Amino acid sequence: MKISIKKPSDFNFRRTVLSHGWCVLPPFEFDKIRWTLVRVLDAAPRPVTVKISAASSTIKVSTSRSLTRKAAGNILRDVRHMLRLDDNLLPFYQAVLADPKFEWIAHEGAGRLLRSPTVFEDLVKMICTTNCSWALTEKMVQALVNELGREADDGCKSFPTAEAMAEHPEKFFRDRIRAGYRAPYLRELAERVASGALNVESWLQSELPHNELMKELKSVKGVGNYAAENLLKLIGRYDGLALDSWIRTRFARTRNQGRAVSDKKISRFYSRFDSWRGLVLWCDMTRDWLDPENVGKW
DNA sequence: GCGTCCAGGTCTACC
DNA sequence: GGTAGACCTGGACGC
């Protein structure tokens, strides 16, 4: 089944897909030859694999089987959500156009950060990125999908639900997922979400100010400043810089002649962009990711 | 092949 | 409020 979605005029498919590492973290797959994003999405009565690519004025979505009107509507909603098609980046582009160093961001339509269909999936993945190499993150997420995901008709699997994760003891996350000390954190998060004690999807509509929402995010065990600020970016809030070792090294190299730099200095550098500073920083640090020699390197 | 060291972000205990 | 040490894994390195 094929679905077409009209592209927003300022939308850049490639910049969105390669906006960060999510596109290669299961169940996402990135086909760099065909420039296609593939993943399994939940649908009734069973999950479906979708392939997403771009034409000149539309985004093309093909599904591994035909769908009811309602299921197709849900897939459409998920794709719009993942690609941030309904985000209004006009104020962001106006802000960067005022500075010659950053006007390329508006000209290229960068700034839409790929996200998962649910905040829960993004949150679990974010915890799996903390305090470890990217290779280990991939291993943990792959194990979650393999062990607990639901199978689509082509054999590919979806990301597990909180309910599926909550059915397993801490030992499972330690031994089978190789989550190490994160095992109790994942178990507790899944249990809180599955029981309804914590509604992470409501963060998308939250009107809480930055600091208060940060406090709520950090109430989740395993989520500190880095993970919370990164998750906020996926929710659409860019006040936080989400500094980690990679960004510090990258900033030192690209903006400070290779010399180590304090977090305060990085913060000052982007402060003029106010509530967009986190997004400007991320675009600035990843500007060369679309260069042919870098595509598919991670 | 084995042992040791190190990087990575968060939590907790302590000052 | 700030800081030190523990948490766990896998890769790099030396022997």
Q: CATH code at A130? A: 1.10.340.30
The answer to whether residue A283 sits within a structural domain is no
Residue A232: band (very low, low, confident or very high) from pLDDT cuts 50, 70, 90:
very high
User: Tens digits of per-residue pLDDT, A90-115?
Assistant: 999 999 999 999 999 999 999 999 99
Whether residue A76 is predicted with pLDDT greater than 80 in this model: the reply is yes
Residues A150, A213 within the same domain: yes
Range of the domain at A223: 119-234
- Output the CA torsion A77→A83→A88→A91 (10° steps): 170
Residue A84 CA to residue A78 CA, distance in Å, equals: 10
How high is the pLDDT of residue A296? 57
Residue A297: band (very low, low, confident or very high) from pLDDT cuts 50, 70, 90:
low
User: Tens digits of per-residue pLDDT, A236-270?
Assistant: 999 999 999 889 889 988 998 888 888 888 999 99
H or E element that contains A51: strand A48-54
The answer to whether residue A112 sits within a structural domain is no
Whether residue A51 is predicted with pLDDT greater than 70 in this model: the reply is yes
Residues A19, A75 within the same domain: yes
Say which nucleotide is closest to residue A248, CA to C1' distance.
B8
pTM: 0.95
Residue type, A214: M
DSSP A254-292: HHSTT----HHHHHHHHGGGGGGHHHHHHHHHTGGGGST
Helix, strand, coil share (%) of chain A residues, nearest 5: 50, 10, 40
User: Tens digits of per-residue pLDDT, A58-70?
Assistant: 999 999 999 999 9
Residues A124, A83 within the same domain: no
Tell me which DSSP letter residue A249 carries: H
At A91, give phi and psi (nearest 5°): -60, -35
Residue A53: band (very low, low, confident or very high) from pLDDT cuts 50, 70, 90:
very high
Residues A21, A76 within the same domain: yes
Say which nucleotide is closest to residue A133, CA to C1' distance.
B8
Residues A55, A128 within the same domain: no
Q: Pairing between strand A48-54 and A36-41?
A: antiparallel
Residues 181-200 of A with CB under 7 A from strand C: 181
The answer to whether residue A262 sits within a structural domain is no
Chain C nucleotides with an atom closer than 7 Å to a protein C-beta: 7-11
Residues 149-178 of A with CB under 7 A from strand C: 174, 178
Asked if A14 CB < 7 A from strand C, the reply is no
Whether residue A166 is predicted with pLDDT greater than 70 in this model: the reply is yes
How high is the pLDDT of residue A264? 86
Taking a C-beta distance cutoff of 8 angstroms, is the pair A44, A140 a contact?
no
How high is the pLDDT of residue A262? 85
User: Tens digits of per-residue pLDDT, A138-165?
Assistant: 999 999 999 999 999 999 999 999 999 9
Chain B nucleotides with an atom closer than 7 Å to a protein C-beta: 7-12
How high is the pLDDT of residue A92? 97
Residues A228, A168 within the same domain: yes
The answer to whether residue A140 sits within a structural domain is yes
How many domains does chain A contain in total?
Answer: 2
Q: Which residues contact A139 (CB under 8 A, 6 or more apart)?
A: A178
The answer to whether residue A295 sits within a structural domain is no
| Percentage of chain A lying above the pLDDT 90 cut | 82
How deeply is A297 buried, as exposed, middle or buried, from its count of CB atoms within 10 A (0-12, 13-18, 19+)?
Answer: exposed
Q: Please name the residue that has the structure tokens 């395993």.
A: A222
Asked if A221 CB < 7 A from strand C, the reply is no
Question: What average pLDDT does chain A have?
Answer: 93
Q: CATH code at A18? A: 3.30.310.20
Taking a C-beta distance cutoff of 8 angstroms, is the pair A149, A159 a contact?
yes
How high is the pLDDT of residue A295? 65
Residues A57, A133 within the same domain: no
DSSP A121-165: HHHHHHHHHTTS-HHHHHHHHHHHHHHHPPB-TTS-BPPPPHHHH
C-alpha distances (whole Å) from A17 to each of A35, A79, A205, A296 are 9, 12, 24, 11
Domain-terminating residue out of A234, A259, A281:
A234
